[in-house]
């Protein structure tokens, strides 16, 4: 099994969460207030107002990870404040949790993106050189199984290839997810963001299955590092994006990223409209947590 290292990306400014959306289900006023002041991963959507990130960390711990770095934003102290309290430390006693702050460069209103965040983390973890690590979002709950698959797989670089038909989202939402194009042996050829209809058709495998990325990867430190350093700003979003760094790595080193097919739903907390469904899921799946 690979080294039990993991990075959780929680340094974004949660702009989509702060926008009001129409919902047929009323959202608690306290939660609505939290959406304007906290990282979305710290919203108290669980039982007894437990933050969403608690459930992400629970699955991480159960999957066997131990060294955890959480990327936090420079203007939001809520994550560090919570997990550095004695109660926060006790609940995940098998995890060694540290933090990396993603700064907002002068002249910008938001950080430089996920590739920049990850670069800052691993520059500060020289002990991870010649090792490997997983990286995932803070606003998704990935299953214990998915996380174990990444560590158990023999390939240096690997990602979960989610079956789009198993994701329980409205079509207009999952149709915007990045699709994965692979060769016949399951090695990544391309990640296509905001795919067109023709992109989706060409990404289908021999059985007609469409695989999508939910931004959970396992990397060799030494292989991904130079691409995190050299990835350019996206021409429109003006951010350095992790999927682009992955595509650069695959372009230079073909068959360097293996994909693991998995057919299951992934809980996603992106906007205020997700809150009722997420709360229902957490109450049902984690009744005693």
CA-closest candidate to residue 117, choices 97, 137, 132: 137
Return the pLDDT at 159.
98
Measure the CA–CA gap between 267 and 278, rounded to whole angstroms.
Answer: 7
**Which of 270, 245, 281 is closest to 176 using CA atoms?**
270
Mean pLDDT per 10-residue section of the chain, whose length is 289 residues? 94 71 69 83 92 96 97 90 75 93 90 95 96 97 98 97 94 88 97 93 93 97 98 92 98 98 96 90 91
Count structural domains, the chain.
Answer: 1
Cβ atoms of 43 and 52 closer than 8 Å: yes
Give me the pLDDT at residue 15, please.
Answer: 65
Q: Is 41 within 8 Å of 78 (Cβ atoms)?
A: no
Q: Tokens representing 151?
A: 């560590």
Backbone angles phi, psi at 240, to 5 degrees: -95, 115
Expressed as residue numbers, the domain containing 143 is: 5-285
Eight-class DSSP state of 126: G
Which token pair is 104? Answer: 């907002």
What pLDDT shows up at residue 13? 61
- Expressed in angstroms, the distance from the first to the final Cα of the chain is 28
User: What crossing angle do the helices spanning 52-63 and 144-152 adopt, rounded to 10°?
Assistant: 40
Residue 27's CATH number: 3.90.550.10
110 three-state secondary structure: coil
Predicted pLDDT at 34 = 83
What is residue 170's predicted lDDT score, i.e. its pLDDT?
A: 87
How many Å apart are CA 234 and CA 231, to the nearest integer?
Answer: 9
pTM of the model: 0.94
């Amino acid at each position: 099994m690979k080294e039990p290292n993991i990075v959780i990306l929680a340094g974004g400014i949660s702009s989509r969460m702060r926008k009001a959306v129409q919902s047929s289900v009323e959202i608690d006023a306290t939660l609505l207030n939290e959406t304007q002041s906290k990282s979305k991963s710290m919203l108290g959507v669980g039982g007894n107002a437990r933050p969403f990130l608690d459930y992400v960390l629970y699955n991480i711990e159960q999957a066997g990870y131990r060294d955890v770095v959480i990327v936090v934003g420079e203007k939001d102290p809520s994550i560090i404040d919570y997990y550095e309290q004695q109660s926060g430390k006790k609940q995940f006693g098998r995890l060694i949790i540290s933090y990396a702050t993603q700064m907002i460069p002068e002249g910008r209103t938001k950080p430089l993106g996920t590739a920049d965040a990850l670069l800052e983390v691993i520059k500060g973890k020289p002990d991870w050189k010649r090792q490997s690590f997983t990286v995932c979002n803070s606003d998704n709950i990935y299953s214990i199984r998915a996380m174990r698959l990444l560590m158990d797989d023999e390939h240096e670089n690997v990602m979960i290839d989610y079956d789009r038909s198993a994701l329980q989202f409205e079509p207009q939402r999952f149709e915007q997810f990045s699709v994965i194009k692979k060769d016949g042996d399951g090695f990544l050829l391309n990640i296509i963001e905001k795919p067109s209809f023709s992109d989706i058709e060409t990404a289908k495998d021999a059985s007609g299955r469409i695989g999508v990325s939910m931004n959970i990867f396992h990397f060799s430190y030494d292989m991904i590092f130079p691409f995190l350093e050299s990835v350019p700003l996206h021409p429109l979003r003006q951010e350095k994006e992790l999927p682009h760094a992955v595509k650069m790595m695959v372009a230079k080193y073909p068959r360097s990223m293996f994909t693991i097919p998995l057919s299951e739903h992934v809980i996603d907390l992106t906007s205020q409209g997700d809150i009722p469904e997420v709360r229902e899921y957490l109450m049902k799946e984690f009744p005693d947590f």
